[in-house]
Amino acid sequence: MMRFKGKVAHKFAESPLLELRLPAWRSRLMALLILLSFVVLIGRAFYLQIIDTDFLQEKGESRYRRDIEISASRGRIADRHGDVLAISTPMRSIWAVPPAVQLTPEQTQQLAALLETDAQTLSRKLATDRPFVFLRRQIPPPVAAQVAALKLPGIGQDKEYRRFYPTGEMTAHMVGFTGVDDEGLEGAELAFHGQLLGTPGSRSVIKDRRGQIVEDVGSIKPPQDGEDISLALDSKVQYLAYSQLKQAIADRKAKAGGVVVLDARTGEILALANWPTYNPNNRASLSGGQLRNRALTDTFEPGSTLKPFTIAVAMETGRVRFDSLINCAPGRLRIGNATISDTHRYGVLSVAEVIQKSSNVGSAKIAAMLPAQVMWEMFDSVGFGQVPNLGFPGEVSGRLRPWKTWRPIEQATMSFGHGISVSLLQLARAYSVFARDGDLVPLSLTRIGSSRPRGTQVFSPRTAREVRAMLEMAVRPGGTAPKAQIPGYRVAGKTGTARKLENGRYTTKNYVASFVGFAPASDPRLIVAVMIDEPRGKYYGGEVAAPVFAAVMAGTLRTLGIAPDAPLEVAHSGKPATKARL
């Protein structure tokens, strides 16, 4: 026994704590718990390794096995005859797993050359902390094969598709284009994106630690290609519209323009051309105003092309007849503080001659016979102020103000197309009420076959036929558009010349020239609408737009094999249309 400063120290072996005895049941309990733990571990191991092997198998495969998406081919876009307008071609994308990339300077130079970039830019992409980066998208398969031959660690490639447009800028605004990820961005590519887009598949592969595929295990889900779309567009008619519009824009040094060709019987859009345009195959230039599908997205004041609608509703409501007389002398009409003028001083004109001569005064006097609400309802019923609902991107409704806000001068000017704005497609569609028996036909971007859709009745068949005869007079000598005549065919149509509204005032420098018509007038098959924006020199619709109409209509009639309905010598005879020819 040792003493430390008065205290007694005991040896460890003689500690009183060691003399305490634990109950026997505690040791047995601890042994039992340890035994049970071993049983649970053995049972769990047996369950995972013998009974339920999926969990460990999944964890193991996650270290080396990957599911890779297999791209689906986007559906083709074709015209009504099956000619391809948009098709997907197989390409490759080159990607990298930066942490696994270990390239020598020489390998970096080789890869950069194949990817058409410089070594410094490539090195910056590979220096990122991101686990995955694209090095180049949509490269040709032969180039991708050269990249694969380098066998670079951490560099891989996948199959994808690039959209190709055989007809280029000719059909650009109708077909549109896709982005690098195959999503529709414009035109039919966007309008029918859901149908064109396929469903990607997947396949399982085994990769090494560098990200290289060492074994293809097999396909999990095959890809489903997108649905093909057949547009109503006719490539031959589209070429006629595009080439004639392009030439007219160049000849008149105009700012822009558009042409729409409709099948009067079915409402199918056979052609839709705009200028300026773009080449959808050149991705570097896909920006700016050239992308605008002006025939649907831009509006303009249609001018005198609206006079037939004013006269039609006046005839329909019994205010005037075909041969009713309107005093247009002395060529001016004062309404409030404003004065409406004609280009020539006409005396007394029949209602038919108001259309033939395009008298603003005559149209305004006829409009004054109508309640504002009646005129508004007529404009509304032919589609003005409404989105066409084709599903096409960027469609606009135009401007048609509520009739309760109209002043007398505004009702007068609307009768000849000022104070109201429409798109070229709206205007072309509205003329179907005269090309048909007074019913408004729905339009279609896609081919609908031989079926003829039912239209919405706007005017009686008699009114439609009488206005059709007036429009035929406008194209003959003595009318405003003799340059719209086509040898061998009876043509009906109307010119439009409107000053542009700039900064709240009508300019005297810039105009919009337009013409809308149909043929053969005896049994209308086609409607063609033309708009030329800011032509230089001559600017009247009869001088600028009517010749484009004649060229496009004549070519389309012959292309579609539509039989003539007038002898060649009669087409320019100058005989006035009569009610006997309705």
Are 211 and 285 in a shared domain? no
In a domain? residue 388: yes
Residue 581 has a pLDDT of 41
Are 219 and 366 in a shared domain? no
Least confident of 1-10, 397-406, 490-499, 517-526: 1-10
**What distance in Å separates the CA atoms of residue 453 and residue 446, rounded to the nearest whole number?**
13
Residue 573 has a pLDDT of 41
Query: Which residues make Cβ contacts (< 8 Å) with residue 70, sequence separation at least 6?
Result: 159, 200, 201, 202, 203, 219, 222, 223
> Highest-confidence range of 27-41, 528-542, 560-574, by mean pLDDT?
528-542
Give the residue with greater pLDDT, 155 vs 558.
558
Residue range 48-69: average pLDDT?
63
Give the residue with greater pLDDT, 22 vs 578.
22
Residue-averaged pLDDT of the chain: 87
- Closest alpha carbon to 379 in 425, 427, 424: 427
**What distance in Å separates the CA atoms of residue 88 and residue 177, rounded to the nearest whole number?**
11
Residue 50 has pLDDT above 90, yes or no: no
Are 317 and 416 in a shared domain? yes
Residues 511 and 542 sit within 8 Å (Cβ to Cβ): no
Asked which of 214, 230, 246 is the last residue of a domain, the reply is: 230
Residue range 171-194: average pLDDT?
90
| pLDDT band at 569; cut points 50, 70, 90 | low
Residue 322 has pLDDT above 50, yes or no: yes
**What distance in Å separates the CA atoms of residue 412 and residue 362, rounded to the nearest whole number?**
10
Residue 390 has a pLDDT of 87
| pLDDT band at 211; cut points 50, 70, 90 | low
In a domain? residue 451: yes
Task: Express each pLDDT in 442-455 by its tens digit.
Answer: 999 999 877 778 88
Residue 361 has pLDDT above 90, yes or no: yes
| pLDDT band at 416; cut points 50, 70, 90 | very high
Give the residue with greater pLDDT, 15 vs 174.
174
Are 296 and 347 in a shared domain? yes
Give the residue with greater pLDDT, 364 vs 100.
364
In a domain? residue 424: yes
Dihedral pair phi/psi, residue 559, rounded to 5°: -60, -40
**What distance in Å separates the CA atoms of residue 465 and residue 582, rounded to the nearest whole number?**
6
Are 212 and 250 in a shared domain? no
Are 449 and 384 in a shared domain? yes
- Closest alpha carbon to 246 in 542, 554, 484, 551: 551
Residue 571 has pLDDT above 50, yes or no: no
Residue 576 has a pLDDT of 43
Are 172 and 292 in a shared domain? no
- Closest alpha carbon to 556 in 171, 241, 247: 241
Residue range 49-66: average pLDDT?
63
Give the residue with greater pLDDT, 16 vs 319.
319
**What distance in Å separates the CA atoms of residue 420 and residue 424, rounded to the nearest whole number?**
13
- Which residues are designated catalytic? 304
| pLDDT band at 346; cut points 50, 70, 90 | very high
Are 372 and 483 in a shared domain? yes
In a domain? residue 59: no
How crowded is residue 466: how many other Cβ atoms within 10 Å of its Cβ?
A: 23
Query: Which residues make Cβ contacts (< 8 Å) with residue 538, sequence separation at least 6?
Result: 252, 544
Give the residue with greater pLDDT, 40 vs 227.
227
In a domain? residue 334: yes
Say which CATH number the domain at 287 has.
3.40.710.10
Domain that holds residue 185: 74-192+206-230
In a domain? residue 48: no
**What distance in Å separates the CA atoms of residue 156 and residue 180, rounded to the nearest whole number?**
19
Are 382 and 405 in a shared domain? yes
Residue 454 has a pLDDT of 85
Residue 574 has a pLDDT of 41
Residue 522 has pLDDT above 50, yes or no: yes
Angle at CA 320, nearest 5°, toward 314 and 322? Answer: 105
In a domain? residue 458: yes
Number of domains forming the structure of the chain: 2
Dihedral pair phi/psi, residue 294, rounded to 5°: -60, -30
Percent of the chain scoring above 70 in pLDDT: 87
Are 168 and 252 in a shared domain? no
Least confident of 62-76, 237-251, 286-300: 62-76
Least confident of 261-270, 283-292, 394-403: 283-292
Residue 21 has a pLDDT of 67
Percent of the chain scoring above 90 in pLDDT: 57
Residue range 316-334: average pLDDT?
94
Query: Which residues make Cβ contacts (< 8 Å) with residue 53, sequence separation at least 6?
Result: none
Say which CATH number the domain at 92 has.
3.90.1310.10
| pLDDT band at 288; cut points 50, 70, 90 | confident
Are 241 and 127 in a shared domain? no
In a domain? residue 56: no
Least confident of 39-53, 73-87, 118-132, 196-210: 196-210
Are 173 and 253 in a shared domain? no
